[in-house]
Structure 1
Amino acid sequence: MTEEEMRKKLTGLKIEHRDMDAAIDALTSAESLDQLQIARLKKRKLQLRDQMSMIEDYLTPDIIA
């Protein structure tokens, strides 16, 4: 995977992460709270965050000071 592809993937993950926030907010503000669905979305959101962190770590050069 090239650096450009990784940056595109990172952008897509960030968008999906923001969408998860919106979906979780919508479900928590709804009349009928579906706790299982909310838990699944939160778990997916954490997985996205982990993937984003891995890509960001790879793209950031190690600088020895």
Structure 2
Amino acid sequence: MTEDEMRKRLASLRVEHRDLDIAIEALVNTGGPDQLQVARLKKRKLRLRDQINQIENYLTPDIIA
């Protein structure tokens, strides 16, 4: 995967992460009994966050001075 492709993937992951945040908030605010769905969305959001961090770390590696 090229760096440009990684940046595009990173942008799409961020959008999906933000969309999940909105969906979770909407489910919680409705007070519905569907806590299982909320838990699944939160788990997916955490996986996305891990993928985002992994790509960010690859694109901006630590430089030891």
Quickly name the TM-score band, shorter chain normalised.
over 0.9
Q: Please, which runs of 5 or more residues in structure 2 have no aligned partner?
A: none
Q: 1:1-44: per-residue Cα shift (whole Å, max 9, x none)?
A: 00000000000000000000000000001142310000000000
Q: Which amino acid aligns with 1:6?
A: M
| Unpaired segments ≥5 residues, structure 1 | none
* Match of residue 18 from structure 1: 18
Q: Which amino acid aligns with 2:3?
A: E
Paired AA for residue 43 in structure 2: K
**Match of residue 44 from structure 1:** 44
Instruction: Tell me what 2:56 maps to.
Output: 56
Give the residue type in structure 1 aligned to 2:57.
D
CA distance in 2, matches of 1:39, 1:62: 33
User: Contact between 1:24 and 1:38, CA under 8 Å: does it hold in 2?
Assistant: yes
Name the TM-score, length of structure 2 as normaliser: 0.94
Name the % identity: 68
